[in-house]
Structure 1
Amino acid sequence: MSKSNQNLPSSLNDAVLKASEAVPEDYTKIEGIDYTKPEATDMRASDLIGAMKNMGFQASNVGRGCEIIDKMRSWRGKHIDELEEHQRKGSFDDDGYQKTTIFMGYTSNLISSGLRETLRYLVQHKMVSAIVATAGGIEEDLIKCLAPTYLGDFALKGGPLREKGLNRIGNLLVPNDNYCKFEEWIVPILDKMLEEQEKYVSEQGSSCFDANSEVDSPMWTPSKLIDRLGKEINDESSVLYWAHKNQIPIFCPAITDGSIGDMLFFHTFKSSPKQLRLDIVSDIRKINSLSMEASRAGMILLGGGLIKHHIANACLMRNGADYAVYINTGQEFDGSDAGARPDEAVSWGKIKAEAESVKIYVDATVVFPLMVAATFASGKVATKI
């Protein structure tokens, strides 16, 4: 107790001026960026992230998220020549070393936004292994190849927008004409896919639909449909185009929950009594098998809901992911999976207890471009660790 406080009532000392225990030496001191220093002028993204790491709150979580991303993308295991034939599964780098299988998930609003170009960069340069998206995350990528989305305002009223044929996504505007162009583009592709399906069935017989058939299933799956659409769009601005080109599967178990669902619905009337079929069971087997074969698994989840759970549940099949970075604004008080923190997934076996994980409570459009600039696009080369 200092001399100046000796005359205070003991109850005040106990309540207000209680002595502290010594702070451990390994505790991080909170400090921010000193812009009076030359090195703080026009900082590189990686330097800015490094400085934010000690600021506290979500800034520190952003720094932690970048550390985890760098670890998941730089981990290297054994060379393929060191492995037995049955062990040669999972992801390998160009030099033949095992690497982390990175699952990336995003919701449709992020493709509608300008984050689409950041996501395309990762797929274009083979920096992720597999993707899970919502239906809007598929169709909005394609629609943007046909017509632009515009900046509006969160306060624009729905009634007047409806009269003008404008659809609002937050502060973005999508004209109805965009969806008309999408319908004109996709229907001939659905016609061709149905024709290919019917031809295969006529050649192989209806027994080829049997789950125990010895021939490959002629049925389309959501991921095969998405791959075909990526091939057909043939546009380098598209995420789906690069996923097709680089053979990165995109899964969408709720493929009918959007404009694509509308197109498939309309197509059933056009093609009746024939019908295009999509097999979701084959896709759940495919994504779960990717997880089970992974030497290490990482999750980068932008948003919540279906995309978050679908990837996490796939990682359950290997007893949990090794790395996890969540970026969303969901809260956990209502028990929703969207708002759940990584530790809840640990209890289900979807993330390993010893895994490195973080949740960043922020709009992904604010921080993910910065995080990609500081990690994937930083020029740092992955090294065997």
Structure 2
Amino acid sequence: MTYTQINDTRKAELLSTQVEHVDIRSFDARPIIDAMGKMSFTSRDLARATRIYNDMLADKDCTIFLVIAGSTSAAGCMDAYAELVRSGMVDGIVATGATIVDMDFFEGLGHKHYQALEIPDDDTLRSLYIDRIYDTYIDEEDLQNVDHTIFEIAETLEPKAYSSRAFIREMGKYLVEHGKKENSLVKLAYEHDVPIFCPAFTDSSAGFGLVKHQVDAMKEGRPYLTIDSIADFRELTEIKIKAGTTGLLMIGGGVPKNFIQDTVVCAEILGHEDVAVHKYAVQITVADVRDGACSSSTLQEAASWGKVNTGIEQMVFAEAGSVIPLLTSDAYHRGHWKGREKRAWAKLFK
């Protein structure tokens, strides 16, 4: 579809206020979490979820997975997630491609998300090449730069099958050499050997770049790389088998949630009957179960599938962007992460 020339003045006006990501080190949420623990409803749920996350950090045997779906990274939680990696508060990440590629890698390349101070007609936004996530804007031209950068990375790699973890590691390496943001989750995960898995990796800007890589290669009669989702499942299950005790901090649901939980079942299929269910689990979501949302299952329901422990779990029904800063700031300031051994699970695949 072709549009008339972009109104640069109007576009600059709409993309004038950057989203500022919350710094969980700059404030101490412990007093408010303690107070919430004496309340009821969602406040008390959040306080209990925060205690469970602190218990994961205090458990020296526990490997912690950060599991992300939804758009909290674009909305201002990106630096919070980055701090969890930098401080050794998570050991592995399972996320949507949008979270990793369209949001974090996007900012790692120097691009920004913007607050929508007004929301005009979406056809008007399209004519200006502005993409909208609720009340957050992205410059489509910047996003196309992400597509092309993924293409460029693919063109430099040996044409073979890669798990999403292996390809995302190459993205982290690229940001170390060419990135423009220190606080990138992809970059920090590369530097700290924290593996990132995106089970639906091509459902993102990565997909556009990789399709172009394959099409160009096919036209030229040369081999091309592919993303092996089975390798993703195998590698993540291998980590679960070797990790033993595990805990889940889950934002949203969907594929990332099911993917990490299914490692327990996969381990059993592979003959590891002694692999324990995930000992700790926290899920923050606004989805309900009645219409098949929330991945159609609460954590209690997931226990019937042999995936999580029913004793140390907590659902928090809240918009994650409003509670993640509190939960993570509390955990950061309680300091159970200090002296915690970094697992460096990415080294398992070198």
TM range (shorter): 0.7 to 0.9
Task: State whether residues 280 and 312 of structure 2, in contact with CA within 8 Å, keep that contact through their aligned partners in structure 1.
Answer: yes
Match of 1:247 in 2: 193
Which of 332, 336, 349 pairs up with 1:376? 332
Q: 1:154 to 1:364 in 2, by over 3 A?
A: farther
Q: 1:131 to 1:322 in 2, by over 3 A?
A: same
Match of 2:345 in 1: none
Q: List alignment gaps of at least 5 residues for structure 2.
A: 1-26, 268-274, 341-350
Match of 1:103 in 2: 65
Match of 1:220 in 2: 162
Deviation of 1:111 (Å): 2.0
Match of 1:276 in 2: 225
The one-letter amino acid paired with 2:289 is E
Deviation of 1:262 (Å): 1.0
Output the CA distance in 1 between the equivalents of 2:313 and 2:74: 27
The one-letter amino acid paired with 2:279 is D
Match of 1:364 in 2: 320
Deviation of 1:47 (Å): 1.6
1:310 aligns with 2:272: no
CA RMSD of aligned residues (A): 2.0
Which of 115, 123, 127 pairs up with 2:89? 127
Q: Give the TM-score taking structure 1 as reference length.
A: 0.73
SS of alignment partner, residue 335 of structure 1: coil
Q: Give the TM-score taking structure 2 as reference length.
A: 0.80
Q: List alignment gaps of at least 5 residues for structure 1.
A: 1-42, 77-98, 198-217
1:321 aligns with 2:285: no
Task: State whether residues 305 and 338 of structure 1, in contact with CA within 8 Å, keep that contact through their aligned partners in structure 2.
Answer: yes
Match of 2:152 in 1: 188
Deviation of 1:340 (Å): 2.5
Output the CA distance in 1 between the equivalents of 2:64 and 2:74: 23
Deviation of 1:153 (Å): 5.2
The one-letter amino acid paired with 1:356 is I
Residues 342-357 of structure 1 correspond to what in structure 2 (within 5 A)?
342-353=299-310, 355-357=311-313
Runs of 4+ displaced beyond 6 Å: none
Q: 1:178 to 1:300 in 2, by over 3 A?
A: same
Output the CA distance in 1 between the equivalents of 2:172 and 2:55: 30
SS of alignment partner, residue 287 of structure 2: coil
Which of 34, 51, 62 pairs up with 2:46? 62
Task: State whether residues 108 and 135 of structure 1, in contact with CA within 8 Å, keep that contact through their aligned partners in structure 2.
Answer: no
Output the CA distance in 2 between the equivalents of 1:154 and 1:68: 39
Match of 2:134 in 1: 170
Deviation of 1:292 (Å): 1.8
1:179 aligns with 2:163: no
Output the CA distance in 1 between the equivalents of 2:292 and 2:155: 43
